C-alpha cells in the first residue's frame, strides 16, 4: 500500500472522508477549509487500522474474546476488554505502516521547524460523531508525545482503545458491528493550553436546546479535567445575532492540568487566577464567532473543543462534532415539570436537563462498584468519566460533587434523557445510601428533596397554532426558565419582573452592596437575568418592569433593615417610581439603569423595553425619565411604558400618554386601589373583585384614551387566566396584548383565537 493510503494531511481531508479518517479528523480537515484556526497535523486512516489488524493477525483473537460476551455482566466485560486491549497494544507495528507514519511526522517537524515536535495523538473513530449517536470520549488521547518511538506506541494504544469497556458496551447497546467501526488517529502540534486556557462549547443551550446562543465553558490548562468533571469551569453564554455576552459565571477553577516531566499532572491554581475569568470578553466573542461559522457550515448544532496556545497567544479549534441530544429531538413538544408537594431539601447544585425524577440513593466511590446500582436508582458520586456510562444508563438521576454544565456527567445525562445535578459540593456526604429522594432540575438550581415526591409533567405541542390579532405574551420572573420557554408560540414578554432576580441571584439590598463596594455584583446579576429573557424571545418585545419592592420586602434582603423605614401600609408606601428619584435610593436606581443600558447596548438586545411601576403623578413620571436619561438609559430607539394600576393613571391617561410610549394594566393593584380593598386582607377578600364595573370601566377608559394617542395597552394581571369571561371582555375593549403565566399560554392563545 502507498503512504497516502495510511496517512493524510488534515487539510486534505473533508467531511466526506469520515469512513476513511474518522469523524474527528474529517471535521478538522473540513475546518481547515474555513477561516477557522486549526493546529497543523496529519491523520492515519481506517485503512491503516485494518492493515494493522490484518498484518498482526489479531482479528481472530479479538473475535474469540467478543463471542458470547454479556455487557451487562460487568466483571466479564472488564476481563474480556482488558484481554483485547492488551492483544492490540502489544502487537508489533508493521514496518510499512510505521515508516509511513514516521515520514509524515518528520514532514510535520519540517513545517513547524521543530525537531521531534510534541504532538497530541487523538483517536478518531469512523462512527464517532453521527447525528444519532456519540462515541465521543470513548477512545484515548495522548498529550505531549515526542519522538518516533513514543508516537508509534501512542497510536497503538489509540487502536486498542477502540475496545475500552465503555466502547464495547456502547456499540452492543446501539447495535453497531464491532468490526465495522474503524479507528483513525489524528496527530497535531501540541497546543500549549497549559500556559493559557481551554474548554468546550455548544452552539446552543445544552439543557433546553435553545439555539440562538453559544454556551462556552473554560478553565486554565488542558481541557480533559473539564470533560471529566474534575474542575468547575467558567461559563459564558453569547447571543448569536449580536455576539453580545448574555452571561458570565465564574467557576472555581481550583486545579489545572499542565505539562510536567514529559507528561501531565494536576496542580493548584493560584487564588488570584481562580477569581479571574479564564477568557476576556474579546476572546469570548471571537470564540463564539468561530462557533457560529462552524455551525452554519455543517448546518447542525455543534459540540466543539478549543484551546488558547499560551506560546502563540492564539485561539485554536481542536475538534467539532454534531451535538447529539437536541439536534436529534423534536422541537414541537415542550415538557414542563413541576412538584406537586414539598419535602425537606437536602442539598442543591447546578441543574441539568429540566426534569424531575425520584429513586433510591446509591453512593459510589468508584465505577467498579456499579453492580450495586439497580434500574431507577439515583446515582451519587464525586464525578463521572466515560467508564461510568454502563451504570449511568440504569439511573433515574445523577448527582455529583463536582463538574460543570459540560462535564461528562452533564453531557451523558442529557443524551440519556435523565436529570442530573452537578457541582453540589458534598452530595456523597449529604445523601445516605439506600434512602429515597426526589431530584428536581426544573429550574437553573437543582435541588434534592427527601422522599419520593409527587410531580406532574405537562406537554404542550406547539405546531399548527392559530395566529391572533391580539398579542399573547408571557409573565416571567425566573430567567432560568427563559430558554426552555423560548419555543412557545407567544409574542414576547409582557411582564418581566426584577424582584425574582434580586432575591434569587443577589440576595442583598442594593444600597448594602454599594456601601461594600460591590455594585458590580448587583449590575451583573440583573444584566444577566434580563439578557437571558431578552435573548430567549428576541426580536419580540420584552417589557421589563423596574423594581417594585415594598419597604417590608426590601427589609428582608441582606442588609435591608439599615436602609428601609418601617411602614404601617407598605402597599401604599415608598415603592415604585417614588423611590427612584429619592436621594435615599437614587444610587440604587442608577445600578438598575446601568444593568439595562448594558443589556440594550453591550449585549445588543434592543427588544428589551422598560416599564415604570406605581407612578402616581405625571410629574413623578417626568422626573424618572429625566433621571434614566442622566444614567445613560435613553434614546430614540427605546420605548418606556408605564403601569396603569392607579386611579390617577386612568383619570390622567391622556397626560401619561404624552410622556410614555405605552401602558400595561396591573389589574391586581388597580382593583385594590379602585375599590379601596387591601388585596392581602382575608376579611375583605370577598370584596376584591376584578369584574366589578368600576374596575372594568377603568380598563375600558385607559384603552380608549391610549388608542386616541396611538399608544398600545396590555394587561399583565391574573384575571385573564383565572376569571371566566375576562378575556372576552378585554378583546371587546380592544386590548392590544394579554400576558399570562407560561402554564396557561397555549390555552389562552387558543381562547383568544376562538373569540376573535
Which sequence positions are flagged as catalytic?
408, 716
Q: In terms of Cα–Cα distance, which of 208, 745, 221 is closest to 488? A: 745
Cα–Cα distance, 6 to 105 (Å, whole number): 13
Cα–Cα distance, 133 to 637 (Å, whole number): 46
Cell 515526542 appears where? Answer: 146
∠ CA 119-87-54, rounded to 5°: 85
SS3 assignment for 83-138: HHHHHHHCCCCCHHHHHHHHHHHHHHHHHHCCCCCCEEEEEEECCCEECCEECCCC
List Cα–Cα distances, 100 to 1, 113, 159, 590, in angstroms. 10, 20, 16, 67
Looking from the CA of 2 toward its CB, the CA atoms found within 13 Å total 3
List Cα–Cα distances, 409 to 140, 391, 429, 631, in angstroms. 18, 12, 18, 44
Q: Is 314 in a helix, a strand, or coil?
A: strand
By the 8 A CB rule, do 278 and 217 touch?
A: no
Q: Is 256 in a helix, a strand, or coil?
A: strand
Q: In terms of Cα–Cα distance, which of 716, 718, 732, 725 is closest to 751? A: 725
Cα–Cα distance, 621 to 581 (Å, whole number): 10
In the DSSP assignment, the letter for residue 300 is: S
Cell numbers representing residue 186 in the block: 489524528
By the 8 A CB rule, do 361 and 422 touch?
A: no
Backbone angles phi, psi at 334, to 5 degrees: -110, 120
Peptide bond into 723 cis (omega under 30): no
Looking from the CA of 446 toward its CB, the CA atoms found within 13 Å total 32
Q: Is 710 in a helix, a strand, or coil?
A: coil
In the DSSP assignment, the letter for residue 221 is: B
State the sign of the Cα–Cα–Cα–Cα dihedral 191, 195, 200, 204: negative
Cα–Cα distance, 25 to 158 (Å, whole number): 14
E strands, 402-508, where? 420-422, 436-440, 445-450, 455-461, 471-476, 493-497
What does the radius of gyration of the chain's CA atoms come to, in whole angstroms? Answer: 30
List Cα–Cα distances, 250 to 101, 225, 236, 504, in angstroms. 43, 16, 9, 17
Cα–Cα distance, 647 to 331 (Å, whole number): 44
Per-residue DSSP letters for 26-91? HHHHHHHTTT-----EEEE-HHHHHHHHHHHT-HHHHHHHHTT--TT-HHHHHHHHHHHHHHHHTS
Cα–Cα distance, 534 to 611 (Å, whole number): 14
By the 8 A CB rule, do 215 and 240 touch?
A: no
Which residues, 6+ apart, have CB-to-CB distance to 519 below 8 Å?
A: 510, 513, 591
Q: In terms of Cα–Cα distance, which of 515, 597, 509 is closest to 547? A: 509
Which residues, 6+ apart, have CB-to-CB distance to 366 below 8 Å?
A: none
Per-residue DSSP letters for 633-653? ---TT--EEEEE-SHHHHHTH
Amino acid at each position: 500500500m502507498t503512504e497516502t493510503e495510511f496517512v493524510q494531511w488534515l487539510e486534505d481531508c473533508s467531511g466526506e472522508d469520515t469512513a476513511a479518517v474518522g469523524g474527528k479528523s474529517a471535521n478538522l480537515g473540513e475546518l481547515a477549509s474555513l477561516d477557522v484556526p486549526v493546529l497543523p497535523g496529519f491523520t492515519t486512516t481506517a485503512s491503516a487500522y485494518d492493515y494493522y489488524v490484518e498484518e498482526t493477525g489479531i482479528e481472530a483473537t479479538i473475535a474469540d474474546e467478543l463471542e458470547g460476551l454479556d455487557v451487562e455482566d460487568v466483571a466479564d466485560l472488564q476481563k474480556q476488554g482488558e484481554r483485547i486491549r492488551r492483544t492490540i497494544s502489544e502487537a508489533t507495528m508493521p514496518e510499512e505502516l510505521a515508516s509511513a507514519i514516521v515520514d509524515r511526522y518528520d514532514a510535520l517537524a519540517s513545517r513547524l521547524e521543530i525537531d521531534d515536535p510534541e504532538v497530541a495523538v487523538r483517536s478518531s473513530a469512523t462512527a464517532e460523531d453521527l447525528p444519532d449517536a456519540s462515541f465521543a470520549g470513548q477512545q484515548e488521547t495522548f498529550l505531549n508525545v515526542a519522538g518516533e518511538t513514543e508516537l508509534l506506541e501512542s497510536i497503538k494504544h489509540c487502536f486498542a482503545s477502540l475496545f475500552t469497556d465503555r466502547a464495547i458496551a456502547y456499540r452492543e447497546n446501539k447495535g453497531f458491528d464491532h468490526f465495522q467501526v474503524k479507528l483513525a488517529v489524528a496527530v497535531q502540534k501540541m497546543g500549549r493550553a497549559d500556559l493559557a486556557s481551554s474548554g468546550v462549547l455548544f452552539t446552543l443551550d445544552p439543557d433546553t436546546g435553545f439555539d440562538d446562543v453559544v454556551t462556552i465553558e473554560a478553565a486554565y490548562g488542558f481541557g480533559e479535567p473539564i470533560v471529566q468533571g474534575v474542575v468547575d469551569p467558567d461559563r459564558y453564554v453569547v447571543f448569536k445575532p449580536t455576539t453580545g455576552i448574555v452571561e458570565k459565571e465564574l467557576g472555581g477553577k481550583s486545579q489545572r492540568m499542565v505539562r510536567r516531566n514529559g507528561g501531565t499532572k494536576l496542580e493548584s491554581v493560584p487564588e488570584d487566577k481562580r477569581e479571574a475569568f479564564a477568557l476576556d470578553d474579546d476572546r469570548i466573542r471571537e470564540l463564539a464567532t468561530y462557533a457560529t461559522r462552524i455551525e452554519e457550515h455543517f448546518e447542525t448544532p455543534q459540540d466543539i473543543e478549543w484551546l488558547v496556545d499560551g506560546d502563540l497567544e492564539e485561539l485554536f479549534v481542536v475538534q467539532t462534532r454534531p451535538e447529539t441530544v437536541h439536534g436529534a429531538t423534536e422541537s414541537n413538544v415542550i415538557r414542563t415539570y413541576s412538584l406537586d408537594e414539598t419535602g425537606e431539601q437536602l442539598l442543591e447544585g447546578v441543574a441539568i436537563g429540566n426534569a424531575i425524577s425520584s429513586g433510591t440513593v446509591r453512593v459510589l466511590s468508584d465505577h467498579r462498584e456499579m453492580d450495586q446500582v439497580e434500574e431507577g436508582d439515583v446515582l451519587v458520586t464525586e464525578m463521572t468519566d466515560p467508564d461510568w456510562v454502563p451504570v449511568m444508563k440504569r439511573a433515574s438521576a445523577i448527582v455529583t460533587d463536582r463538574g460543570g454544565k459540560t462535564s461528562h456527567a452533564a453531557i451523558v445525562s442529557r443524551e440519556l434523557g435523565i436529570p442530573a445535578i452537578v457541582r453540589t459540593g458534598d452530595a456523597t456526604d449529604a445523601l445516605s445510601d439506600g434512602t429515597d429522594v426526589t431530584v428536581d432540575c426544573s429550574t437553573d438550581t437543582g435541588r434534592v428533596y427527601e422522599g419520593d415526591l409527587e410531580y406532574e409533567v405537562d406537554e404542550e405541542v406547539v405546531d399548527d397554532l392559530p395566529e391572533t390579532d391580539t398579542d399573547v405574551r408571557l409573565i416571567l420572573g425566573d430567567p432560568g426558565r427563559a430558554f426552555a420557554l423560548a419555543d412557545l408560540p407567544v409574542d414576547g414578554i409582557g411582564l418581566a419582573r426584577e424582584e425574582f432576580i434580586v432575591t434569587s441571584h443577589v440576595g442583598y439590598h442594593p444600597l448594602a452592596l454599594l456601601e461594600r463596594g460591590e455594585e458590580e455584583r448587583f449590575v451583573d446579576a440583573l444584566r444577566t437575568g434580563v439578557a437571558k429573557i431578552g435573548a430567549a424571545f428576541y426580536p419580540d418585545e420584552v417589557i421589563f418592569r423596574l423594581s417594585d419592592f415594598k419597604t417590608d420586602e426590601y427589609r428582608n434582603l441582606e442588609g435591608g433593615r439599615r436602609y428601609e423605614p418601617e411602614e404601617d401600609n407598605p402597599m401604599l408606601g415608598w415603592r415604585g417610581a417614588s423611590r427612584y428619584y429619592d436621594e435615599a435610593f437614587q444610587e440604587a436606581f442608577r445600578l438598575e439603569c446601568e444593568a439595562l443600558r448594558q443589556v440594550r447596548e453591550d449585549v445588543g438586545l434592543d427588544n428589551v423595553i422598560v416599564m415604570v411601576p406605581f407612578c402616581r403623578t405625571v410629574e413623578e413620571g417626568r422626573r424618572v425619565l429625566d433621571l434614566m436619561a442622566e444614567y445613560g438609559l435613553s434614546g430614540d430607539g427605546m420605548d418606556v411604558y408605564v403601569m396603569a394600576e392607579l386611579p390617577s393613571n386612568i383619570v390622567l391617561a391622556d397626560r401619561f400618554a404624552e410622556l410614555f410610549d405605552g401602558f400595561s394594566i396591573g389589574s391586581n393593584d388597580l382593583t385594590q386601589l379602585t375599590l379601596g380593598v387591601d388585596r392581602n386582607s382575608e376579611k375583605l377578600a370577598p370584596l376584591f373583585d376584578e369584574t366589578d364595573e368600576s374596575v372594568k370601566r377603568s380598563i375600558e377608559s385607559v384603552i380608549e384614551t391610549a388608542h386616541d394617542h396611538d399608544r398600545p395597552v396590555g394587561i399583565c394581571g391574573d384575571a385573564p387566566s383565572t376569571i371566566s369571561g375576562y378575556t372576552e371582555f378585554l378583546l371587546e375593549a380592544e386590548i392590544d396584548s394579554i400576558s399570562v403565566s407560561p402554564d396557561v399560554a397555549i390555552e389562552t392563545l387558543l381562547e383568544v383565537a376562538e373569540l376573535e
